[in-house]
Structure 1
Amino acid sequence: MTPIDHSAPPLLQARGLRFARNDEPVFGPLDFAVDAGEALLVQGDNGAGKTTLLRVLAGLLRADEGQIDIDGRPAHPARRARAIAYLGHLPGLKADLSALENLNFLCGLQGRRRAQLPENALGIVGLAGYEDALARQLSAGQKKRLSLARLWLAPAPVWLLDEPYANLDLDGIELVNRMVQAHLREGGAALVTTHGAYAAPPVRTRMLVLGAPSRLADAEAGHA
């Protein structure tokens, strides 16, 4: 377990963050921070801006106002690329590459967590034996597991997880929870969007509710 420095700045912090689409407010202004060893559960009704918020934090959309800091410094593109791993609704896989080829390709682009290998990551997510299966041949749940393997290999300390339980059975839901627990034990942080249909990961958790008005609250779901 990596010791967590509680005097360090938040791994991710947003101040006055606001986003509008066609001049219609989607969310904000928002102020929140996520520390090492902590998860932030982002909840809200459909259209409240959960996915949009994660895409803004990942740098895929530009905020209209506000500032995002990573480890106490402005979130410039290169810093985001090193610090943030994003798991969205789409699997982000190359359909005509095998499961193992997809992981090797992504590790070549993004690097990989020290002492972790793509073959081992496939075993961790329950895809041992699928190394040579083409991504387009996998079921929706298997594609989600392959995306989780990619997430596990990423060296980024901040995970942005958009509905990570979708397309997973009960074993898959428990897999996500174990992964988040392990990531936080190693000093990482996670933002997790959910409609509230599933329990939050059993880790030190706060909740950000998007709506009118958005609010940040403690929601101690447990400790890793």
Structure 2
Amino acid sequence: MVLEARDLACLRGERAVFAGLSFGLPAGAALLLTGANGAGKSTLLRILAGLLPPAEGAVLWRGEDVGAEPSAHAARLRYVSHQDALKPALTVAENLALFARLWGGAVMPALEALALAPLADLPARVLSAGQRRRLALARLVLAPVPLWLLDEPTTGLDAASVERLGPILADHRARGGIVVAATHLPLPLPDARELRL
């Protein structure tokens, strides 16, 4: 297994959100996290990203605890949360260029993959909610990493944008990448496993 969760537990206040949670994902796998609001989907993604320590258990990458080397784990993943993390005064292209300087990759192919090239010179503040979401997702295309953690990736997207996401996810998986996505809606991830929280 490449990514493993071993007996994870998460507490919110005094209440256990989940406990004894275990799964393993090989290269190229996809896992959908489903369940009611407040079930712990976003929290589990944050634990998998190394942003939140589990109350119990461990997250392993190729058998090694990700908590032992947090910077190495951070470098192997992209986490798209509820927040789109855009700078409103910068253009669409400038927003993506910030991440390209950190991670590498070319801005225009990433914009084209999400049909954002015609909007490249617009300031992010004038984008619709769906366009902002597509810009956040364009960061996935910049430079390859093995793990994508996606929190409600289709929020605000129209049907054409969700369909456009399908080949991006498929290409990532074909290269051995792993996708873990929290969602209430169907995603273009054929043969994905489901974990209901």
TM-score computed with the length of structure 2 as normaliser: 0.93
Aligned residue in 2 for 1:105? 98
Kindly report the root-mean-square deviation, in angstroms, between the aligned alpha carbons of the 2 structures.
Answer: 1.3
SS for the counterpart of 1:151 is helix
Per-residue CA deviations over 1:79-101 (Å, capped at 9, x if unaligned) read: 22111110111101112211111
2:58 is aligned, of 50, 67, 73, to 67
Aligned residue in 2 for 1:51? 42
Query: Aligned-pair distance for 1:130?
Result: 1.5
Structure 1, gaps ≥5 residues long:
1-9, 211-224
| Structure 2 residue identity aligned to 1:14 | A
Structure 2, gaps ≥5 residues long:
none
- For the residues of structure 1 that align with 2:10 and 2:74, how far apart are their CA atoms? 21
| Structure 2 residue identity aligned to 1:77 | P
| Structure 1 residue identity aligned to 2:46 | R
More helix by share: 2
| Aligned positions of 1:122-201 closer than 5 A | 122-195=111-184, 198-201=185-188
Identity of aligned residues (%): 43
Aligned residue in 2 for 1:94? 87
1:203 is aligned, of 184, 190, 193, to 190
Query: Aligned-pair distance for 1:122?
Result: 0.5
2:78 is aligned, of 85, 88, 91, to 85
- For the residues of structure 1 that align with 2:77 and 2:51, how far apart are their CA atoms? 12
| Structure 2 residue identity aligned to 1:206 | R
Query: Aligned-pair distance for 1:154?
Result: 3.7
Moved beyond 2 Å, runs of 4+: 198-204
Q: How many residues align?
A: 195
TM-score computed with the length of structure 1 as normaliser: 0.83
Per-residue CA deviations over 1:42-80 (Å, capped at 9, x if unaligned) read: 111111100111011112222111111113222121122
